[in-house]
Amino acid sequence: MKILVVGGGGREHTLAWKLASDSCKPELFCAPGNAGTLEICTNLDIGAEDVDGLLRWAIENKPDITVVGPEVPLCAGLTDRFNDAGLLVFGPNKAAALLEGSKLFAKEIMQAGGVPTASAVSFVSADDALAYVADHSFPLVIKADGLAAGKGVYICADNKDAEKAINDVLVAREFGDAGSELLVEECLVGEEVSILALIDGENILMLSSSQDHKRAFNGDKGPNTGGMGAYSPAPIMTDELWPVVKEEVFQRTLDELKKRGIKYQGVMYAGLMVTAEGVKVLEFNCRFGDPETQVVIPRIKGDLVPVLQACIDGTLRDDMIEWRDESCACVVMAAGGYPGSYNKGDAVLGLQDGAVKENVIVFHAGTAIKDDKVVTSGGRVLGVTALGKDLRSALDKVYVSLTHIEFDQAQYRTDIGKKAL
């Protein structure tokens, strides 16, 4: 079997790592991949957003399945293009991917389908948005409508924060066309949890819970990032919440999409807030989360390929995944300055020493090979990940491993998993 993994981050390294252990022993290709995927895949010099280039390669090389990691190619219609060429893809089509591609669309789906979420108002005019926030109490959340690599969300404590957010999005256009419109939302109070669900168009198979850490610095301080660490399972997701989330979040969303003639196949990510009033949706993604994938996928026993195939051909069942009892934790090592400007090309040292402990895996995110050495090539550089008998054990392994790995101005949070502990 031949499998193409699209993307070059930590999520894609994790997926490739899991697929490489599948009993069908697939031949793996990754586009573009990174220094980590290079050890288990043939990396292709094709960008994840180059849908035309990916399609040309796929038509010529005929992968049995293409697994799409990032949201941009999905929102650009990669699945539709591949399907039209007779190629199978794990990932939703363009219409379904709009659930992540537009926060306005997602909010409309949730409101129409009765999915619990924060109240929100949208604006295209900065003056109108400023007038609105001036007349409302804080905190408020301001979000760019389109894709912003996880960075277009502002939690505003006061009017000064809101003015900066509105200016960044609608005036300075820091997110380009993704910021042609914004949402002002009520700020939900509670604890966050992430749930990934596999969907074949009809059936829903929820994966184990996880909790991401979005803010750059300890104590949930600093700007939002793409994610600085995660752990699974998340204790906040109690047994009582599972049926509620399946029905009120995933089923209602799926039903509302169906009403509009949209069939959802692939993985749906729900970022949730567990509030005093119950679970509410913060956001939807149309792909595996990052770094949630790094802590959920290693906990899956057995093969992954049959589950991906079932999502594509409509034969998904609840009993297709069995879970390890161990906890899993991941801490992201990021380049100095991230999520702002940062250096690239710095040598990464100690990778082998960092992975010597049992059940420790170093997933590469922003790495490349230069002069036969691993160097930094992105903001989030590595996801140091470990399985342990409980969360404390997993975290201990991770933080010991982190002491062996270094690159110039490396930064990471030292409080991942603290809420659960």
Same domain, 365 and 377: yes
> Token pair of 264, please?
């959802």
Q: Angle of helix 94-101 relative to helix 103-113, nearest 10 degrees?
A: 100
CATH number of the structural domain spanning residue 367: 3.90.600.10
Which of 156, 180, 204 marks a domain boundary? 180
CATH number at residue 59: 3.40.50.20
Distance CA 176, CA 286 (A): 21
* Contact between 376 and 386 (Cβ < 8 Å): no
Helix, strand and coil in the chain, % to nearest 5: 35, 30, 40
Three-class secondary structure of residue 356 per DSSP? coil
Residues 284 and 258 in one domain: yes
Structure tokens at 338: 């991230």
Q: Provide the domain count of the chain.
A: 4
Residue 58 near residue 85 (C-beta atoms within 8 A): yes
pLDDT at 357: 75
Beta bridge partners of residue 237, listed in sequence order: none
CA contacts within 13 A on the Cβ side of 199 = 30
What pLDDT is attached to residue 353? Answer: 83
| pLDDT, tens only, 219-258 | 999 988 889 999 999 999 999 999 999 999 999 999 999 9
CA dist 383 and 412 (Å) reads 10
112 occurs within a structural domain: no
Residue 103 to residues 121, 159, 197, 271, 308, Cα–Cα distance (Å): 11, 22, 19, 13, 26
DSSP per-residue string spanning 377-395: -SSEEEEEEEEESSHHHHH
β-sheet with 327-334: strand ranges across:
211-212, 229-232, 327-334, 380-388, 360-364
Q: Do residue 209 and residue 302 come from a single domain?
A: yes
The pLDDT of residue 66? 98
Question: In this structure, are 209 and 303 located in the same domain?
Answer: yes
- What percent of the chain clears pLDDT 90, i.e. is strictly above it? 95
- Report residue 3 as tokens: 């499998």
Q: Is residue 271 part of a domain?
A: yes
How far apart CA 298 and CA 260 sit, in angstroms, is: 36
Q: Which amino acid is at 212?
A: D
Domain annotation covers residue 109: no
**Residue 76 DSSP one-character state:** T
Say whether both 262 and 335 belong to one domain.
no
> 49 and 79, same structural domain?
yes
- What integer pLDDT is reported at residue 159 of this predicted model? 94
Q: What is the pLDDT of residues 56-96, one digit of tens each?
A: 999 999 999 999 999 999 999 999 999 999 999 999 999 99
337 lies in a domain?
yes
Is 134 within the bounds of a domain?
yes
Q: Residue 242 has which token pair?
A: 């599972």
Contact 350, 400 (CB under 8 A): no
Tokens of 262: 């949209």
| pLDDT given for residue 349 in this prediction | 96
Average pLDDT over residues 108-121: 97
> Taking 80 as the threshold, does the pLDDT of residue 356 lie above it?
no
Residue 383: closest CA among 288, 294, 297, 292: 294
The answer on 228 and 342 residing in a single domain is: no
List pLDDT tens digits, range 208-221. Answer: 999 999 999 999 99
Q: Alpha helix locations (H) across 181-319? A: 241-244, 252-259, 292-296, 305-313
**pLDDT per residue as tens digits for the range 265-299:** 999 999 999 999 999 999 999 999 999 999 999 99
Q: Are residues 201 and 315 in the same domain?
A: yes
Cβ(218)–Cβ(415) below 8 Å: yes
> Which CATH number fits the domain that encloses residue 256?
3.30.470.20
Residue 8 lies in a domain: yes
Q: Which residues span the domain enclosing 305? A: 191-323
pLDDT tens column, 12-38: 999 999 999 999 999 999 999 999 999
Q: 382 and 362 in contact (C-beta within 8 Å)?
A: yes
Strand, coil or helix: 323: strand
Do 356 and 371 lie in one domain? The reply is yes
| pTM, rounded to two decimals | 0.95
Within a domain: 414? no
Pure H helices in 248-344: 252-259, 292-296, 305-313
Residue-level pLDDT at 419 = 86
Same structural domain, 390 and 354 = yes
Domain boundary among 137, 156, 180: 180
What's the mean pLDDT when you consider all of the chain?
A: 96
Chosen domain end from 307, 323, 339: 323
Position 11, amino acid: R
8 Å CB contact between 145 and 108: no
Domain co-membership, 317 together with 228: yes
Same domain, 304 and 334: no
Query: Per the domain annotation, does 407 fall within a domain?
Result: no
How far is it, in rounded angstroms, from Cα 406 to Cα 333?
Answer: 9
Of 411, 353, 359, nearest in space to 382 by CA: 411
